[in-house]
């Protein structure tokens, strides 16, 4: 999948509509910077936004993922669109799982630091004891938050939360 080509095509579609990046961003409930990243090929829109973009530009998802307009047999187009969406979804899932793994690893490292601080077992009173006590408390909370975010990423709950947020913003 050529992200640069897709980005260039998205930019062309936007310009054909005669709107700015900011106007598109407002319509899609994303930031202007996000639209810019799509158009430069740095990032791709997630599947829900991809569907909205295809409706907005009145083209198929397959055309967006190919980065060009095409005229083909409808049955073949449907089959290829399904394959493209599945491939896109699989790549998105890999990215989400990768981020979740990074968060889990980071949480594990933070927990190891906490174990080391516990192992040192600084007792008594004074600056070192207070610092160690603060670090223990901070790391316990921080590790828990990082691991919860990792769970949200890997279970794809974060995407669903984001989708609900978008729906609420659309109604407002």
Is this structure's pTM higher than 0.75? no
Residues for the chain: how many in total? 172
Per mean pLDDT, which of 17-21, 65-69, 134-138, 168-172 is the most reliable?
Answer: 17-21
Over the stretch 137-147, which tens digit does the pLDDT of each residue have?
A: 887 888 788 77
Over the stretch 6-46, which tens digit does the pLDDT of each residue have?
A: 999 999 999 999 999 999 999 888 998 999 999 998 888 88
Is the same domain home to 159 and 101?
yes
Report the Cα–Cα distance between both ends of the chain, in Å, rounded: 36
Is the same domain home to 83 and 167?
yes
Domain span including residue 116: 74-171
| Residue 28: CATH number of its domain | 1.10.260.40
Distance, in Å, from the CA atom of 31 to the CA atom of 72, rounded to the nearest integer, reads: 34
Is the same domain home to 53 and 133?
no
Q: What is the pLDDT of residue 156?
A: 67
The total domain count for the chain is: 2
- How many CB atoms neighbour CB 168 within 10 A? 10
């Amino acid at each position: 999948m050529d992200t640069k080509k897709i980005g260039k095509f998205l930019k062309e579609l936007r310009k054909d509509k005669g709107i700015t990046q900011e106007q598109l961003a407002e319509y899609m409930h994303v930031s202007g910077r996000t639209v810019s990243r799509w158009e430069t090929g740095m990032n791709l829109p997630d599947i829900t936004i991809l569907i909205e973009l295809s409706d907005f530009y009145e083209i198929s998802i397959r055309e967006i993922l190919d980065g060009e307009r095409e005229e083909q047999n409808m049955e073949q187009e449907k089959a290829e669109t399904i394959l493209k969406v599945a491939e896109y979804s699989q790549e998105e899932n890999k990215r989400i799982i990768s981020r979740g793994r990074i968060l889990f690893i980071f949480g594990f490292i933070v927990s190891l630091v906490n174990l080391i601080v516990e192992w040192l077992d600084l007792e008594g009173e004074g600056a070192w004891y207070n610092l160690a006590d603060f670090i223990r408390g901070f790391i316990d909370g921080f590790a828990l938050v990082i691991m919860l975010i990792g769970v949200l990423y890997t279970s794809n709950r974060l995407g669903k939360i984001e989708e609900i947020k978008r729906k609420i913003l659309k109604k407002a």
